Amino acid sequence: MASKHTRAQGTRIMISALPIDTLTTATPDNEDYITLGCTMKSYNRAGGQRTETDISTFCSEVVEKDFGLKDNGTVTFSGNYYDGDDAQDLLREAEEAGDRHEFRVIDSRNREARYLGVITQTSEEASVNGSWNATFTIAIVSRIIREAYTT
């Protein structure tokens, strides 16, 4: 029996062309988004966690905790740096402005994840005998909607 997996090749990452304050509820129109085309090589979402508050008292027999809202974490995209790429330029501009944008990640099995994010950091890196690399860090500031992608 073959192992089950999802191929990374063919993944599409999109950013809304304009800032957005709330997640779209209907299926978004592709023309409202810019695709981080063939410059990206890596996608990493590090999930956040709930805030823990110690609510123990002198009467407690064990440590008691209450939990706050869930933090959906951060995402890092990285790949080939390319000044003049519409999507990379938009990411750099959005970091300067602090605007919220909607992000769409569509995998090779046409499963989509959508969320609002604020670009908190951009960086570039180069080394001898290598190419320039760009990294973009996004704080997720909404729930994550997961659904089948329909064209």
Strand 40-46 and strand 74-80: the pairing is: antiparallel
Question: Quick one: pLDDT band at residue 29, thresholds 50, 70, 90?
Answer: confident
10 vs 54, residue with greater confidence: 54
Looking at residue 76, its pLDDT comes to 96
- pTM (2 decimals)? 0.85
Residues 50, 68 contacting (CB under 8 angstroms): yes
Is pLDDT above 80 for 27?
A: no
Question: Quick one: pLDDT band at residue 151, thresholds 50, 70, 90?
Answer: low
Show the 3-state SS of 51-108: EEEECCCCCCCCCCEEEEEECCCEEEEEEECCCCCHHHHHHHHHHHHCCEEEEEEECC
Is pLDDT above 80 for 28?
A: no
30 vs 142, residue with greater confidence: 142
Looking at residue 141, its pLDDT comes to 95
Amino acid at position 86, single letter: D
- Cα separation, 91 vs 119, in Å, equals 7
Distance of CA 122 to the CA centre of its chain: 13
Question: Quick one: pLDDT band at residue 31, thresholds 50, 70, 90?
Answer: confident
Where are the chain's structural domains? Answer: 12-55+64-146
The CATH code of the domain at 12-55+64-146 is 4.10.410.40
Give per-residue pLDDT as tens, 127-143: 898 899 999 999 999 99
